[in-house]
Structure 1
Amino acid sequence: MAKSVENQVEQTKVLPQYVAALVANLLVASVGCAMSWTSPTLLKMDSGETDIPASSDEKSWIGSLTPLGAVFSPFLAGYTADRWGRKTTLIATACPVIVGWVLIACAEPARSIPLIYVGRIIHGLCLGVAFTVIPMYCGEIAEDKVRGALGSFLQIFVSLGSLSQYAVGPYVSYLVLTIFSATVPFLFAVTMWFIPESPYQHVMAGEEQKALEALQWLRGTSVEAVKEELAIIKENVREKMENKSTPRDLISTKASVTALYLSMGLLGLQIFTGIDAILFYCQDIFAASGGDLDSSVSTIIVGMVMLLASACTPFIVESLGRRILLLISAAGMAVSLALIGTFFHLLNNNSDTSSIGWLPVVSLVIYMIVFSIGFGPVPWAVMGELFAPNVKSMASSIATSFCWFLAFLVTNFFPTISKELGSDYAFWIFGIFAVVAFVSVFFLLPETKGKSLQEIQAILGG
């Protein structure tokens, strides 16, 4: 038996797992496009490059309807992923993403803001599905040694989708940008067809032979070499079925209640430190700053930094503790938000800012770096470590919906706050929340790195 296990380990290949995760995360890239589509497009509306007239209130709704749509779909996504499968759910999600882009494309000749609203809501619903099902799929297809790396792809592909909008959007028409964005979910749907379903899903459906074939493809081995792993999966699925949770289980123990408020607190602070407002309105921010660099170039720089920082995150997360990364991230965001707020304060008071025209770009580059190594990925990772397995899925859906509801509030009211109070106060408010994040993590969050589930539950229940 030992020899058999040894041979299995020697023969296992990780490349097929990376390929499957890369293809699955193309759907995340497509919703990343939807998230940042507003950055170049709202400026086109302001400048008259498109025939769609939009008031400031309408532009706020265009920006915020996508996160609002994402509030409702995580619960449905969990059900459909279990009922019809992870792969089927993801491929089916690509269809409405494309429909959303078609509606947005038709909005220009029709001069119709409501068509954009509907397209943005559809994209939001798909965003909630992608953020719920893709981590589930990647976690189930991965071996332990690559699970962390595959899990980090989500943030990387969100950054890639955002960068594509920042890099392409300013230089093409409204219609061309929309067509370009629609090609990503189409490419995903075509390529995902050739990727296997999660072996866990096959086992839950009683399809043992298909589970063996999926494992064989994912591990790059013979069927015989993965039979032991299949037995482990079957045992895990059996335990999951026997320990199905109810909403009451989330508040039945002190450990679960503590895990819930810590998770929702971290995700709330992630949103209230301004990331969605910056992603959705990045080019608007740089245009308002009147800096030395063209706003399009500044936005591309920020997008590239976010992508590179996201790509480095897996190595940093595993080498340092969760608390230290969150503390560094909160401190860095507080400083960078204070700096950009000060710049806008000087600008709004007619001070000469010509000598510090570089400050908005540098501040947001620092912000993106520290966000991408800390408050971007770590709250999601910590949430996965805090909850017991029987309530993890339900808790994740609740926390994800809560996160997107707050994102809706921030993206909807950021333009109004910037207009009524000034961009300086908007960024200072985000900076205050970054300080709150630092204090909260320092005093309330236990370190989870290197601790077992039992140890974490004991700490939370103590």
Structure 2
Amino acid sequence: MGDVYLEHSQRTRSAKFKQYIACFAATIALFDDGLMYVWLSPVIPKLIAGDSGISITSEQESWLTSMLLIAAPITAIFSIQSIRLIGSKNLILLSNIPMILSLLLIIFSTSVIELYISRFLAGMCDAMCFVGAPAYIGEISEPSSRGILSTCIMISYNLGAVITLYFGYVLPLKTYPLYCLPAPFIMFILFLFMPQSPSYLVSKGKVEEAKKQLEVIRDSDICEEFADIKTSIENDVNVFANFLNLFRVRANIRATYIIFMTVFIWHCSGFIIMAIYLHTIILEAQIKLPETTSIVIYSLVQVLSGIASTFFVDRYGRKPLLYISCTGTAVCLCALGTFFFFKNMNYNVESVTILPLIALILYVFFVSIGLCNIPIVYTSELFAYNMKNYAGALFSLSYNLFGLGANYLFLVLTKHWGMHVLFWTLSVATLFGVLVTYIWLPETKNKSIIEIQNYLSSRKSKVSLRKSYVDLTGKS
């Protein structure tokens, strides 16, 4: 009896280890993406000042910050078909090409035109990563670890962003991309040896290979899961018909608006504004600390909070984290708005310039434990196997389209009304996320993809949602 238990325990650890390694390798692509996504934050002040050999106007700044956000939705649409043809793993591998070209363009740039093209290529890389990675992780991982592994996407992205926020500031414009160049090559080599997604193998007629692949990364009976994969792929239709299914199949409709809702709330928190304009905001606040010190503190809290969320998301569930994240973020944004209000009213705020840094640190803590991760988790688990290519595409589309709106909001509100109006507006919008979470968002903790699909297909949404919460927590 003891030998059987020991053998099962070893098999469980082996399966879990293989899942974690495969998902970790996939998220290296998001680390590379993070290196480039927030690159403009430390670089914009240099470009405006003309300290880097290339100077830009305010109009060019607007185009430069928007170029990535324009490219990503366009690429996401094409990635829908690409992931069907080549699979999520190969799409992630191909994301290295625009990444490398983007870095090379910065290194050899002589005018703002090359920077425009570089940012467009960075947007292509971003879309390919966020379409491919959630789909891949959603398939490779099992329900008990899917939340943890999905949050690793943003942890990896945040690590890349942290490095950029500091080294992109202290290193010259063309030197920093040179140090980043080996990253996509390392990622390609490591991820090349990872398992292929089972649904892609089934779609290519490699049924036995897909079954063996699934057995290797699971510690339990795979019959039900594999049968569901086969059924989804066998019932698959062409791209156009699948696209229509987004609007005529109840489970897909609900999954789509859940992703859109969570991404919208995420952008209401001002996360992308912080990613692009963090250096500008810190300079405007006139914090009495070296700018690099403020950036390092902010960045470390962002990474550590993201890591902490991996332990909370599968233990406490998605909704409780969103409640805490939305409320805490809204309070911090309100505090930032209040500081900038008194500053703009010419009150003497020199003695309290440490307050915006404290508010920023608490802000990045609260936004990172929930709002930054739950949309990714939902993206990886809400859609059936034959629709997972749409999950990542919908995420990328909504993220970057709402990002364009947030970027425009920043430029307009700060120019005409000031920072305080911007932060107060974001605070009210983020607080609205608590209501959205309570009414519309499901709790998917420890649920299989089949169970989630059954819930999304149910017409008794409030009843099933309440029952789901009671079953999971034991609370009435």
TM-score w.r.t. structure 1 length?
0.88
Paired with 2:224 and 2:432, the residues of 1 have a C-alpha distance of 43
1:16 deviates by: 3.2
Distance 1:404 1:137, change over 3 A: same
The question of 1:10 aligning with 2:10 is answered yes
- C-alpha distance in structure 2 between counterparts of 1:309 and 1:188, whole Å: 24
Question: How many Å apart are 1:115 and its aligned residue?
Answer: 0.8
Q: 1:10 offset after TM fit, Å?
A: 3.2
Q: Does 1:299 align with 2:295?
A: yes
Task: Give the equivalent residue in structure 1 for 2:175.
Answer: 176
Q: How does 1:27-426 map to 2 (within 5 A)?
A: 27-107=29-109, 110=110, 112-207=111-206, 211=210, 214=213, 229=222, 234-244=226-236, 246-252=242-248, 256-382=252-378, 387=383, 391=387, 393-426=389-422
**Cα distance change of structure 1 residues 385 and 147 upon mapping to structure 2, 3 Å threshold:** closer
Note the C-alpha offset of 1:143: 4.0
- Pairwise CA distance, 1:8: 5.7
**Residue 247 of structure 1, CA deviation:** 3.0
Deviation digits for residues 396-415 of structure 1 (CA, Å, limit 9, x no counterpart):
52343122111122224423
* Whole-angstrom distance in 2 between the partners of 1:298 and 1:118: 31
AA aligned opposite 2:62: S
C-alpha contact (below 8 Å) 1:23/1:191 kept by paired residues:
yes
Distance, in Å, in 2 between the alignment partners of 1:15 and 1:392 is 24
Give per-residue Cα distances to partners, 1:107-160, cap 9 Å, x unaligned: 2xx2x1111111101110110110111122223233444333222210101110
Q: Deviations over 1:315-352 (max 9, x none)?
A: 21122243322122111111101111111122222211
Q: CA deviation at 1:196?
A: 3.3
Indicate the larger mover: 7-16 or 18-27: 7-16
CA distance in 2, matches of 1:257, 1:56: 40
Please say if residues 41 and 275 of structure 2, whose CA atoms lie closer than 8 Å, have aligned partners that are also in contact. yes
| Aligned match of 2:461 | 460
- Report how far residue 9 of structure 1 moved: 5.7
Percent of aligned pairs with the same residue? 25
Aligned CA-pair RMSD: 2.8
What is aligned with 2:472?
none
CA distance in 2, matches of 1:343, 1:80: 48
- TM superposition score normalised by structure 2: 0.86
Contact 2:48–2:57 (CA under 8 A) maintained in structure 1: no
AA aligned opposite 1:81: I
Question: Quick one: structure 1 residues 435 and 460, their matched pair in 2 at CA, closer, same or farther if it must change by over 3 Å?
Answer: same
| Deviation at residue 290 of structure 1 after TM alignment | 0.6
Aligned partners of 2:148 and 2:313 also within 8 Å? no
Cα distance, 1:260–1:17 mapped onto 2, change above 3 Å: closer
Unaligned runs of 5+ in 2: 464-476
Structure 2 CA distance for partners of 1:449 and 1:209, relative to 1, 3 Å: closer
Deviation of 1:46 after TM superposition, in Å, equals: 3.1
1:446 Cα deviation from its structure 2 partner: 4.7
Q: What is the number of equivalent residue pairs in this alignment? A: 450
More off after superposition, 412-421 vs 269-278: 412-421
Q: CA deviation at 1:77?
A: 2.1
SS at match of 1:246: helix
CA 1:140 to 1:441, structure 2 compared with 1: closer, same or farther past 3 Å? Answer: closer
Q: Are the equivalent residues in 1 in contact too, given 2:211–2:226 (CA < 8 A)? A: no
Alpha carbons 1:258, 1:460 under 8 Å: kept: no
Hey, what's the Cα distance between the residues in 2 that align with 1:192 and 1:339?
43
Structure 1 residues 404 and 22, CA gap change in structure 2 (3 angstroms): same
CA-CA distance at 1:432 after TM superposition: 1.8
- Is residue 74–residue 401 contact of structure 1 (8 Å, CA) maintained in 2? yes
> 1 CA distance for matches of 2:196 and 2:378?
27
Q: Kindly tell me: are residues 403 and 384 of structure 1, through their superposed partners in 2, closer, same or farther at Cα, counting changes over 3 Å? A: same
Amino acid at match of 1:252: R
Counterpart Cα distance in 2 of 1:74 and 1:4: 47
Residues 199 and 230 in structure 2, CA contact (< 8 A), matched pair in contact too: no
What SS does structure 1 have at the residue aligned with 2:287? Answer: coil
Question: The residue matched to 2:372 in structure 1 has which SS?
Answer: coil
In the TM superposition, what whole-angstrom CA distance separates every residue of 1:254-283 from its partner, at most 9, and x where no partner exists? 554444334312211211221001011111
Structure 1 stretch 354-363 or stretch 17-26: which is displaced more? 17-26
Assess if the C-alpha contact under 8 Å between 1:386 and 1:457 holds in 2: no
Q: Check 1:384–1:93 CA distance in 2 against 1; reply closer, same or farther (3 A cut).
A: closer
Rounded to whole Å, the distance in 1 between the matches of 2:142 and 2:432 is 37
Structure 2 residue identity aligned to 1:41: V
State the match for 1:222 in structure 2. Answer: none
Partners of 1:461 and 1:252 lie apart in 2 by: 21
Q: 1:218 to 1:438 in 2, by over 3 A?
A: closer
Q: State the shift of 1:431 in Å.
A: 1.1
Q: Which moved more, 1:318-327 or 1:390-399?
A: 390-399
- Which residue of structure 1 aligns with residue 467 of structure 2? none
How much has 1:170 moved relative to structure 2? 1.9
Contact 2:98 2:121 (8 Å CA) reproduced: yes
Aligned equivalents of 1:66 and 1:304: distance in 2?
25
Structure 1 residues 83 and 98: CA distance shift in structure 2, 3 A: same
Cα drift, residue 461 of structure 1: 8.5
Residues in 2 aligned to 1:431 and 1:125: alpha-carbon distance in whole angstroms: 31
